[in-house]
Chains A and B, each alone.
Chain A
Amino acid sequence: MDSPYGRRGADIVIWLLLLTMPYWLTAVGGYAQLGSRVLIMALAAMSLNFLLGYTGVLSFGHAAYFGLGAYGMGLTIKYLVPSTFAGMAVGVLTGAAAAAIIGVLIVHLRGIYFAMVTIAFGQVFYFIAYRWNIVTGGDDGLSGWSREPIDLGFTTIDIVHDQKAFYYLVFVCFLVGVTIMAALLRSPFGRTLLAIRENERRARFLGIPINRHIWMSWLISCTFVSLAGTLYALLNNFADPHDLRWDQSGDFVIMAVLGGMRSFWGPLIGAAIFVVLQDYVSSETQNWMSFIGLFFVLVVVFFPRGVLGIIRWKATP
């Protein structure tokens, strides 16, 4: 198989497209916030794919950590300090801490059992957010706060009103997250994860501590999903209990599958297609849930290998 980092040419094209997105997006009918949302969802889907595609572990509960990031951000700015970076740190740490603890409970489970337990555990945080009205705002979500300008000491970046500046904040986070994950996948640790995915029993015979590796992969994956969650809260100036719900987890999985789980950039493409489609459908019809559902069914029936999977399959005779 080719390097998880992809071919160099494709990498450069993708980075250039992402870097210039705010400047061409409006020309093709999009708007600035849509670009930010695509990139945030792509970060979440690529983080999920670190676990799903590269470790071979099926999690259907990643929305929990996404939502914890979002609430961590919102609560910090609303109640503690009006600082975007502090919110980000709190959100990511909360998500990572929850993932570390739950990971210990579930890491020895496999396959369908693992999927089911991750789904069920995801709901705990949903109910906490939903029920703890005074703090989280309950069903209405956490509002009454907004993102703060970033103070770098020598200059202040206004991400509050300038959508382009906000996009580049998201872009920098995406760049950092994706680069770290790509580097990890190229390292011996990443190779070990691939070995576990391909043949767990053989990897065990080689003396690899399987559960510890899966736990690490789970933790890394959830941490970056939390980062995406903090950015999502910033984008909306709002944390929604539905960010924590199982429907959201399903969305992340479909993005990864739609783009192609076995390719590094696949989830980015899946996220772009999904977000744009969702944006279009929900503005056109009340019954967008049916369309999204139909979309899931069609992807499973006709595109199980994903967009990039098909291209690669066609390319190799």
Chain B
Amino acid sequence: MTQLILYNVFNGLIIGAFYALMALGLSLILNLSGVINFAHGGFLAVGAYLAYMLIPYIGFWGALVISPILTAVFGLIIERFLIRRVYGRDPLYSLLLTFGLAFMLEDGTRFIWGPETLPFSIPNWLSSPLSGQFFFLTGYRLFMVLLVTAAVVALFVILNYTRLGVRIRAGTLDLETVSALGVNVRMLRSLNFGLGIYLAGLAGVLAAGMLGLQPTIGSDLIMPSFVAIIIGGLGSLPGTLLGGLLIGVASGVTTVFFPSASEAVIYIMMGLVLLVRPRGLLGEEGRF
């Protein structure tokens, strides 16, 4: 029993890390540009399928590096021609636009690569269990946790210690003043969008290795990411991270006792958080 619970907690932590990785990208875009990117899951799928295409040529490690970058470039093109049009307009329009994009990306991947689950090969030494007693502790899962941790640390270093990061953080507080100080806001938003999509692409490659590759891979992960942001508090990146891990573990633990409620439980958590603390766990007072 202990092992079962441990297994599910660990599993939940990994799923939570996915949610967090995806939600961090969503949060970045939402905080600076006020756009809820419904298509984030679509970009995740694009990252995963690009990696699938690249693996025969440059191997898993090459794909892990290149695919998220290509996804970010793709994201920048979409941003340049479509998303940019809705900045500063009623959030209604950005929602509808990214909603349509989400449809197109999901259906586009289905059209190109087919609806069935594709095999996604990860290096052999990563997929074997590390210990006989804790059979669930495969190298790949441990590797994922480490990589997500590294990505999150890198993100916080970028945001706190680089010029770009400082500008992004300043922009989320007061974009007008940042613009008045001579920062190219258009460029800032683009780079920020690209950074968010990069994270989605990275999550896509990792998710494909664990969950298998199918067109709905992105849309299955997007709703929990929203919940992670709301629970953590809109506007707070540490909150988003915490929210992602929390709901991952919560649904993991629920799987042990009441499997059919493992999805619904995160929404109940969200309801409770909104009831007790409407701004979210780490959200700032009065920002939204």
Contact = CB atoms under 8 A, between A and B. Distances in A.
Interface of A: 52, 58, 60, 102, 105-106, 108-113, 115-117, 119-121, 123-124, 127-128, 130-132, 246-247, 250, 253-254, 257, 287, 289-290, 292-297, 299-301, 304
B111 A293 contact: no
B91 A257 contact: no
B96 A253 contact: yes
A293 B107 contact: yes
A173 B288 CA distance: 38
Contacts of B87: none
B86 A300 contact: yes
A111 B91 contact: yes
B180 interface: no
A292 B103 contact: yes
Interface in B239-269: 260-261, 263-264, 267-268
Given A105-B274, A119-B226, A124-B268, A293 B92 contact: no
A253 B268 contact: no
Contacts of A105: 271, 274-275
Where chain B touches its partner, the secondary structure class is helix
Contacts of A246: 223
Given A287-B107, A296-B103, A120 B230 contact: yes
27 contacts: A52-B92, A58-B91, A60-B95, A105-B274, A105-B275, A111-B91, A112-B288, A115-B36, A115-B95, A116-B36, A116-B229, A120-B267, A121-B271, A124-B264, A124-B268, A131-B263, A257-B92, A287-B110, A289-B103, A289-B104, A290-B103, A293-B100, A293-B104, A294-B100, A296-B97, A297-B82, A304-B93
B104 A297 contact: yes
B165 interface: no
A297 B36 contact: no
A297 B38 CA distance: 13
A120 B223 contact: yes
Among A102, A132, A300, find the residue whose CB has the most chain B CB atoms closer than 10 A. Answer: A300
Interface in B218-235: 223, 226-227, 229-230, 234
A295 B263 CA distance: 31
A6 B31 CA distance: 39
B101 interface: yes
Interface string B100-114: 111111111011000
Nearest to A113: B288
A293 B274 contact: no
Contacts of B100: 292-297, 300
B12 to A, nearest CB: 17
Count chain B CB atoms within 10 A of each CB in A109, A119, A293 and give the residue with the most: A293
Contact of B30 (A112, A128, A253, A295): A112
Contacts of A301: 82, 85, 97
B270 interface: yes
Contacts of A304: 89, 93
Interface centre among A52, A132, A253, A296 (most CB of B within 10 A): A296
Contact of B288 (A110, A128, A131, A300): A110
Given A289-B106, A297-B82, A254 B226 contact: no
A290 B111 contact: yes
A127 B264 contact: yes
Nearest to B261: A131
Q: Which 10 A-B pairs have the closest CB atoms?
A: A296-B100, A293-B103, A293-B104, A289-B107, A124-B267, A290-B107, A293-B100, A113-B288, A127-B263, A297-B100
A106 B273 CA distance: 11
Max chain A C-beta neighbours (<10 A), residue from B86, B92, B261: B92
Given A109-B278, A120-B227, A120-B267, A300 B97 contact: yes
A161 to B, nearest CB: 36
Interface in B103-152: 103-108, 110-111
B142 to A, nearest CB: 30
Contacts of A111: 91, 288
A123 B271 CA distance: 12
B206 to A, nearest CB: 23
B104 A117 contact: no
Interface in B65-102: 82, 85-86, 89-93, 95-97, 99-102
B204 to A, nearest CB: 19
Nearest to A304: B93
B59 interface: no
B238 interface: no
Nearest to B288: A113
A296 B99 CA distance: 8
A128 B89 CA distance: 35
B96 A250 contact: yes
Nearest to A104: B275
A116 B268 contact: no
Given A115-B36, A253-B96, A257-B96, 4 more contacts: A131-B260, A290-B104, A295-B100, A297-B101
Nearest to A52: B92
A299 B92 CA distance: 12
Given A105-B275, A124-B267, A287-B107, A300 B91 contact: no
A247 B85 CA distance: 23
Contact of A109 (B97, B268, B288): B288
A294 B104 CA distance: 7
A131 B91 contact: no
Contacts of A102: 271
Contacts of B288: 109-113
